[in-house]
Amino acid sequence: MKLLLQAVASGVLGLAFFAVALFWPAGTFDYWQAWVFIAVFLAGTLIPSFYLAVTDPVTLQRRLHAGPTAETRSAQKVAAVALVVAVLAVLIVSALDRRFGWSSVPAWLALAADVVVVVSLVLSQVVIFQNRFAAATIRVEAEQQVISTGMYGWVRHPMYSWALVMILASPLALGSFWALLAATAGLPVLVFRILDEEKMLVAELRGYDEYRQKIRYRLVPGVW
């Protein structure tokens, strides 16, 4: 019950975060793309959290323990803060675009992007089911093992792969072409986070170096 309440509280905080970051800069609540995006995002995160609260509370606890203050490595604290700033930039630029009419994304494209967002969120949850140690923070636990099956047989960091898809789809879902620039600005931060995480995994997780030699690509198959 405690974890379930934490998941609900996390959802409420997420709702408040999105509401302030989108409707305040937009200067209006008449922003249907924002309403749909918020609904999609909350559904794509809360429903799996409720499922984990019942079936696998330990894994849910790992996911709820998140944010810059939860990180133990200095580099990851910096990366976590930078990612929050990048996400905030995407939301604010999208809202300002809605307010001043800088660009116009067709409704069908915005809705298609919403579908991409929810699919990426769902598949991110599938990654968690494939690897119960896929925490929101960067750490290695005593009983942790290398996972090389499922999506981990395609790339070494499938959670980040779907996060990348979601980040790039979000500006379009929010009705802004200009916010794509803010989204791409967050990519170097994601690369930095992955490189530092791999440095730790090679040093602390048994078998990871061999896995790294077997699975060549970190984020996008055939690219990097």
Question: Other C-beta atoms within 10 Å of 71: how many?
Answer: 21
Helices (H), the chain: 2-26, 32-55, 57-64, 74-100, 107-130, 158-173, 179-185, 187-204, 208-214
Model pLDDT, residue 135: 57
pLDDT at residue 92 in the model: 96
Token representation of residue 110:
């915005």
Structure tokens at 181: 């620039």
Which residue ranges make up each domain of the chain? 2-214
Tokens of 111: 């809705």
Q: What is the pLDDT of residue 64?
A: 57
Class of domain 2-214: mainly alpha
The pLDDT score that the predictor gives to residue 69 is: 62
- Cβ-proximal residues to 89 (8 Å cutoff; 6+ apart), any chain: 179, 182, 185, 186
Helix (H/G/I), strand (E/B), else coil: 4: helix
> Measuring CA to CA, which residue among 36, 217, 18, 7 is closest to residue 117?
36
Pick out the chain residues at pLDDT < 70: 1-11, 53-54, 56-72, 133-142
Among the listed residues 58, 53, 56, 67, the one whose alpha carbon sits nearest the alpha carbon of residue 8 = 53
- Could you report how far apart the first and last alpha carbons of the chain are, in Å? 41
Q: What is the pLDDT of residue 1?
A: 60
User: What are residue 20's phi and psi, to 5 degrees?
Assistant: -65, -45
What per-residue confidence (pLDDT) applies to 48? Answer: 74
Radius of gyration of the chain (CA): 18
The token pair at 4 is 């379930």
Which residue, 224, 195, 41, 13, is CA-closest to 122? 41
CA–CA gap between residue 10 and residue 7 (Å, rounded):
5
